[in-house]
Amino acid sequence: MPKPKFGVFLPFYAFQALTPNMYYDHLREVVLECEKLGYASVWLDDHLMYGNWQILEPWTTLSALSSLTSKIRLGTMVTCSAHRNPALLAKTAATLDVISHGRLEFGVGAGVQENEHIAYGFDFPKLNQRVERLFEALEVIIRLWTQPKANYSGKYFSLKEAICEPKPLQSPYPPITIGGISDKTVKVAAQFADRCDWGFLPTIDAYKQKTALLQQNCRAVGRDFDEIERSCWPAGQIIVAQTKAEVAEKISRFKPANHRLEDFLKTTLGGTPDVIYEQLQTYVELGVSYFMLFFADLPRFDSLRLFSETIIKPYL
């Protein structure tokens, strides 16, 4: 059984109440700490707007972070295929893979936030069409990454003798993580994904159902299911502390005042290291080898450090 790897999700909402410069400064320090502590990867979300919250564009930001780090892998969780022409996205991703010396994790999805699409002038068709576009986008991207001259004629996109040089450093190309929980997106994942990301699913049974659906779709396209790395979010967010009293104090601090405790705990994994470890083991026994983590106390380092010392190191 492979040893699990751990990625840290660093969404825009973890860095609010900071000036734009402070936002990036704190993000940089968190990423450097994640690398120091032995996390496998860090991941930025991809939004153009979310109300009036400040959001850094992920590809630009990851490029800056790549020059400050040397080991940790850099991912998008997930980039919206509708916001960028796929040929340009292929070029952007190839460039980042080169300047990071082969550390890109390419996360991509069909898009879910209608308001930001409309605000920025992108159309937002029904899910069927968005998934069709995602399928074509991945075909375009992979051709550009792997062929000397790429040609493509699809319903939405086309290429004519297109050259993407330099190619990504990773062979055959950066690992593709496809995000999205819809059955239609799972079909695309069966075709293209090296890893499938469903976000947080509230129960083990829900995770098993999605895994079975992915297996079914792999069989339909003649894909070996074991080629796709099994990953999961053990919770929407994680709160970890050395003692039960400290866990309770943290939960009371981070629970919004208008949320009932039982509702808050439905998406929060709060506990001492032994409790967290036991929950992870449930997924490891199902074949999960990649965990996505969002720590509720970011940008503080408390949970990052405690999780690394008590959970990552024992796995290693």
How far apart (Å, rounded) are the C-alpha atoms in residues 31 and 19?
A: 18
CA dist., res. 104 & res. 86, Å (int): 17
Question: Do 231 and 292 contact (CB within 8 A), yes or no?
Answer: yes
Mean pLDDT taken over the chain: 95
Flag whether pLDDT at 25 surpasses 90.
yes
- Phi, psi dihedrals of residue 19, rounded to the nearest 5°: -70, 160
Helix, strand, coil percentages in the chain from 3-state DSSP, rounded to 5:
45, 15, 35
Confidence class for position 314, pLDDT limits 50, 70, 90: confident
**Alpha helix (H) residue ranges in the chain:** 20-37, 58-66, 86-99, 114-119, 127-146, 183-192, 204-221, 244-254, 261-266, 273-284, 302-307, 313-315
Q: Specify the residue for token string 């040609």.
A: 151
> Which sign, positive or negative, has the C-alpha torsion 36, 8, 196, 251?
positive
Residue 239 and residue 268 in contact, taking contact as beta carbons nearer than 8 Å: yes
Q: How confident is the model at residue 154 (pLDDT cuts 50, 70, 90)?
A: very high
Q: Minimal CA–CA distance to 199: which of 222, 176, 180?
A: 180
Pick from 88, 134, 76, 89: nearest CA to 110? 134
pLDDT > 90? residue 109:
yes
- pLDDT of 316 over the 80 cut: no
In tens, the pLDDT along 131-141 reads 999 999 999 99
What distance in Å separates the CA atoms of residue 203 and residue 206, rounded to the nearest whole number? 5
pLDDT tens digits, 43-97: 999 999 998 899 999 999 999 999 999 999 999 999 999 999 999 999 999 999 9
Q: Percent of the chain having pLDDT more than 70?
A: 99
pLDDT per residue over 235-281, tens digit each? Answer: 999 999 999 999 999 999 999 988 899 999 999 999 999 999 999 99
Provide the residue ranges of all domains of the chain, joining segments of one domain with +: 5-235+288-296
| Cα-to-chain-centroid distance, residue 123 | 24
pLDDT band at 315 (very low <50, low <70, confident <90, very high): confident
Q: What is the pLDDT of residue 67?
A: 97
The first and second tokens of residue 57, run together, are 């564009």
Average pLDDT over residues 27-46: 97
The answer on pLDDT for 207 being more than 80 is: yes
Task: List, for residues 115-126, the tens digit of each pLDDT value.
Answer: 999 999 999 999
- Three-state SS at 177: strand
79-80 and 104-109 strand pairing: parallel
Q: What is the pTM of this model?
A: 0.96
Q: Which residues contact 164 (CB under 8 A, 6 or more apart)?
A: 87, 90, 91, 94, 144, 145, 150
pLDDT recorded at residue 274: 95
Above 90 in pLDDT, residue 20? no
Percent of the chain, pLDDT > 90? 93
CA pseudo-torsion sign 253, 258, 260, 266: negative
Residue 313's pLDDT is what?
A: 85
pLDDT at site 19: 78
Is residue 18's pLDDT more than 80?
no
CATH T-level assignment (fold) for domain 5-235+288-296: TIM Barrel (3.20.20)
Q: What is the DSSP letter of 287?
A: T
pLDDT confidence of residue 1:
64
- Check the CA dihedral 286-239-197-33 and report its sign: negative
Tokens 């959001």 belong to 55
Confidence of residue 200 (pLDDT cuts 50, 70, 90): very high
What is the rounded distance in angstroms from the CA atom of residue 17 to the CA atom of residue 298? 12
Count of CB atoms situated within 10 Å of the CB of 137 = 25
Q: For residues 263 and 81, give the distance between their C-alpha atoms in angstroms, rounded to a whole number.
A: 32
